[in-house]
Structure 1
Amino acid sequence: MNLFYQESRVINDKSSLHKRIPASGLIEHRLKYLRRKHKAGATSKSKDFICLMSESPSEDEYEKKSWLSYSSTPLYQVAEYMAETFRLRSEELRNTDNLSVTLSQWPRLIDTPGMIDQDFSVRYPGKQEIVLHKWDSISKQILKFAKKTKLDVCREIGITQNINEWSADQINVGSLILLPYLLSKSAYTKGSKKRRKITGGQSADFFIKFIKTNEDLEEFRLSESVRKQPFVLCLGNLKNLEIQQAYIMVERRLMLAESLVKAVDTCFKIFYVLQLQFPEECSGVWCFFDHTVFQTNEIKSPTSSVLSLGSQIDLEERPNENLLV
């Protein structure tokens, strides 16, 4: 049984394929080059996508898919072939009835750093680094909003340190922990005769799952059967806001992230790259990132709690201490 798959849907029909580029340079240079190309061509991507998707995948694309199935180096070649097979991969992900099998046919998408970002940048040129560039400022604005709500969230979560004494690193982490509690006020389950309100704690557990450092990560990976969509997994101490390691878990595959912020950033992008729905338990959190942070314009009717918090976020605000007043 495929425990992690939920029927996919088309989220965005406005993607374009990378053009062929010279096979040279380090992978990060390659990705920067691709990002510039996509940003420059953003205005005409709708027309390009229609023309692109009207064509059948070429034999060359299938051959490069085969190469990617067996090769993980050199990294610049992986980045180039992944770019040139974007159309084929998107088509297969959109039409799959078994996501786990399809991902196994595209292993580099999950096990090679930067490939999720690269595919996301095709769909949304210029938006792939917003969280990493803006989170210092956004996190302080979330904290300021949380203080105004007068909710005793920290006590409910079990965080021991006073919120007014958080360090900059604790604010970056703590603001993410607070989000499900700030955005669950208008969250309800759907598709049943009797709607059930989703609590902040339930939403938080589906957004970021904390496990103790002495727990067996591999055992958790194999036994988890509750969360069907991608989610963030952390090893650390929630009470002290200490993160030792952060992962994204998708279809029983673990992707190591450099930080909790990067894990959340990547997890959000995975929903769009794999063309999945947000889980209803924490949809408010992901809708906040969609509507307020990335501003993809995919969420047409955000909940009142998302709009309320979003109205307090200024992406152009600098991360200075005045935000905490």
Structure 2
Amino acid sequence: MLSICFLTAFQMEEAPKILVTLLLDGREICKKIHHLNSAAEIIDGCKHLLPCTAEFHRILKFNPDFNEYIDTDLNDSVQSFDKFQVLFNSITPSGTLQWAGQLNTDAAGPSNQIKVGPLNRDVAGSNNQQQHGQGPVNADRLRALIQIKGPSILADYEASGTLSETSRKLLVKIGVGDLVEQRGFYPSNEEKLMLAKNVVTLFPSLKIKMGEENEGFEHFFDPVSHSGFIEIKLRNLRRSLHDSQRRYRRKRTVPSNTSFHPVSTPLQTPAEEEEESTVEWMTAMKRMKPSHENFSTIKLGMEKTFDSRRFWIVNSSPTAEEIFQQYPHFIDMPYLLDIEFEKMYPGKADLFLQKWEGSIVPKLLKMATMKDNPTFLPSTAESDGPCFRALQMLTYLLPPTASGRGKGWTKCSVKSAISYILDIKPPGSSGSRHLDPDRAVKNQQPHLLCLGDPSTTAQYIIVAENNKVAIPLEDNSLTCAIDKLFKMYCVCNLAYPAQLTSVFNFFEHIYDMPISGGKRCKVVELIARIQAML
């Protein structure tokens, strides 16, 4: 390598020690410590490091007061520990391709298999396919990188038709690493979007289209919510950056929305006459005993008060206890939850019962036997019943995370996560003991209390310890109990347990509902793996 300047040992000791970052066409070429006396010397020295013919554009000096690089004059003084960025522009486009290709070929090693496409937007010109990641060059480049750095990814996909979590992590690592090498630690949304589209182009089974709200690649990068595996990897890489390399942005305030589970049809303020009718029906229903003879009248009353009830629940955010005080038949006639849910989401009330045991459970149990999944079930787990073991597997595949901790969060291990949805007690235990006002509350949100063995006949109770509410269920099936619990969350507009948000988001998919929340990439990945299984 050519020397930047010829200095004697004495001159080097006297010259200030500075950090110089050389950039060509906006891309970092090198970053080195030098001993130089002026900005002009810095520019002259950098010219020897350029891999192609280029012209000087500007020189920036780091200003600690503003925490930014700003333009500096060539005659400005240079002091020790100053930091500079020197920007050059290549004179010919071919020069850019030449040095970019050389760098990537050297990085690839002797195999020299990488197909290097245009790295400069000006060079790409009007080629719309290349700029938006749909052209063959970019997809071929990603494939070549995978063949060199992660051939096991292709083997895994060929064998199973999808990717394991290990292979997906390696894929994202390779793709993001190449993106950072080309565009730096803060690539644009278009560039991240290009990578996400290339991933699902190479691996079609990873494309998950749920309804019309997405295109199928959003679990890798969603430009609307700025989430996904690619964004997560970039944020993790940026943690190790020096302060001078970071881009600080003010956090945007997200407007609060009291509706955790919005209904399919918009809600309108009830008219005064409707409010009077609602009060009359509520009074009449409270006086009726829960019986087969009164069911048709109670059902009619619930239908008449539906709009007013939904408006009150969504806008006033009452507790579960307050809701059941006004509508007590939700407790003594739990099948009213099914009717309410069906009116909220027409045609979706029976989807969980249709899909869970018939399709989802067998595939989750199959995943438990795959070598890339942790072996967590004890040897006696076969006697626990398929539904319970599948629920266990789901809590392992979608474990509680420390990110996004909010109200209701307590430290939770993967093994204990299932207790936030299902608490198993011996037969004959008292469910009312869990509503004792002097008892410490562990689960802030409603969950299932199982009295007996989940693999055999057991009694299930929905318990909301915080609200001192218990709903005994007539069904002795764990599947039916989970179905009722989820519907209660939707009907009462309750937030999911913080420890199991991803598990409940997966349930939303089974009900063919939009997946709520911004951090859904792990859920979508699991959906892709399940859909790829025969």
The reply to whether TM is greater than 0.5 is: yes
Q: Residues 185 and 305 of structure 1 are in contact (CA less than 8 Å); yes or no, is this contact kept in structure 2?
A: no
Provide closer, same or farther for how the CA distance between residues 311 and 257 of structure 1 changes in structure 2, counting only shifts above 3 A.
farther
| Alpha-carbon separation, structure 2, partners of 1:190 and 1:128 | 30
**TM-score (norm: length of structure 2):** 0.45
Cα distance between partner residues in 2 of 1:111 and 1:134: 27
Partner of 1:274: 492
User: What CA RMSD, in Å, does the superposition of the two structures yield over aligned residues?
Assistant: 2.9
Indicate whether 1:247 and 2:452 are aligned.
Answer: no
In the alignment, structure 1 residue 115 sits paired with structure 2 residue 329: no
Displacement of 1:249 in angstroms is: 1.5
C-alpha distance in structure 2 between counterparts of 1:185 and 1:218, whole Å: 29
Q: Indicate the structure whose relative CO is greater, using CA pairs within 8 Å and at least 6 residues apart.
A: 1
Shift in Å, 1:273: 0.6
What are the superposed Cα offsets for residues 227-275 of structure 1, whole Å, 9 maximum, x if unpaired? Answer: 121111112246xx44522221133223314111111111111111101
Structure 2 matches for 1:196-211, cutoff 5 A? 198-211=412-425
The 1:265/1:8 distance shift into structure 2, 3 A limit, reads farther
Structure 2: distance between partners of 1:99 and 1:248: 12
Counterpart check, 1:142 vs 2:364: yes
1:234 aligned to 2:457?
A: no
Residue of structure 2 equivalent to 1:30: none
What are the within-5 Å matches in structure 2 for residues 5-16 of structure 1? 9-15=258-264
Q: Find the counterpart in structure 1 of residue 394 from structure 2.
A: 179
Q: Which has the larger radius of gyration?
A: 2
Pairing partner for 1:79 from 299, 311, 322: 299
Distance in 2 of aligned mates of 1:201 and 1:14: 34
Match of 2:522, SS?
A: helix
Q: Residue by residue, what CA displacement relative to the aligned partner does 1:119-146 show, whole Å, maximum 9, x if unpaired?
A: 1111111000011111222110111222
Change (3 A) 1:180 1:257: farther
Distance 1:150 1:97 in 2: 41
SS in 1 for 2:507: helix
TM-score in terms of structure 1 length: 0.72
1:262 aligns with 2:476: no
In 1, the alpha carbon distance for the partners of 2:524 and 2:297 equals 43
Return the alpha-carbon distance in structure 2 between the equivalents of residues 97 and 109 of structure 1: 15
Q: Per-residue CA shift, 1:136-183, capped at 9, x if unaligned?
A: 22110111222224312213xxx6144xxx6xx922332123221221
Q: Do the aligned partners of residues 187 and 68 (structure 1) sit closer, same or farther apart at CA in structure 2, a change above 3 Å counting?
A: farther
Instruction: Specify whether residues 300 and 107 from structure 1 end up closer, same or farther in structure 2 by C-alpha distance, changes over 3 A only.
Output: same
Question: Which one of 52, 64, 70 corresponds to residue 287 of structure 2?
Answer: 70
Q: Give the aligned length.
A: 265
Return the alpha-carbon distance in structure 2 between the equivalents of residues 305 and 8 of structure 1: 24
For residues 179 and 205 of structure 1, the distance between their equivalents in structure 2, rounded to whole angstroms, comes to: 13
3-state SS of 1:233 partner:
strand
Matches within 5 A, 1:118-137: 118-136=339-357, 137=359
Which amino acid in 2 is paired with 1:301? Answer: G
Q: Deviations over 1:204-246 (max 9, x none)?
A: 11111111225333223333622121111112246xx445222
1:229 aligned counterpart, secondary structure: coil
Residue 185 of structure 1 and its aligned partner are, at CA, apart by 6.0
- Report the CA distance shift for 1:270/1:234 in structure 2 as closer, same or farther (over 3 A): same
Matched-pair contact (CA < 8 Å) for 1:184–1:203: yes
For residue 10 of structure 1, give the secondary structure of its aligned residue in structure 2. coil
- Cα distance in 1 for partners of 2:456, 2:280 equals 45
Residues 298-309 of structure 1 aligned to structure 2 (within 5 Å): 298-309=515-526
Residue 13 of structure 1: CA displacement? 4.2
- Judged with a 3 Å threshold, the aligned counterparts in structure 2 of structure 1 residues 219 and 191 are, in CA distance, closer, same or farther, namely closer
- The answer (yes or no) to whether the contact 2:505–2:515 under 8 Å persists in 1 is no
Report the Cα offset of residue 102 of structure 1.
3.1
Say which SS state the counterpart of residue 89 (structure 1) adopts.
helix
Q: Percent identity?
A: 23
Identify the match of residue 374 of structure 2 among 130, 134, 151.
Answer: 151
Aligned residue in 2 for 1:92: 312
Does the 8 Å contact 2:341/2:490 carry over to 1? yes
How far 1:287 moved relative to its partner? 1.1
Alpha carbons of 1:185 and 1:254: their partners in 2 closer, same or farther (altered >3 Å)?
Answer: closer
8 Å CA contact 1:208, 1:231 repeated in 2: yes
Specify whether residues 236 and 121 from structure 1 end up closer, same or farther in structure 2 by C-alpha distance, changes over 3 A only: same
Distance 1:297 1:228, change over 3 A: same
Write 1 or 2 for the structure with the bigger share of helix. 1
User: In structure 2, how many angstroms separate the alpha carbons of the residues matched to 1:211 and 1:189?
Assistant: 31
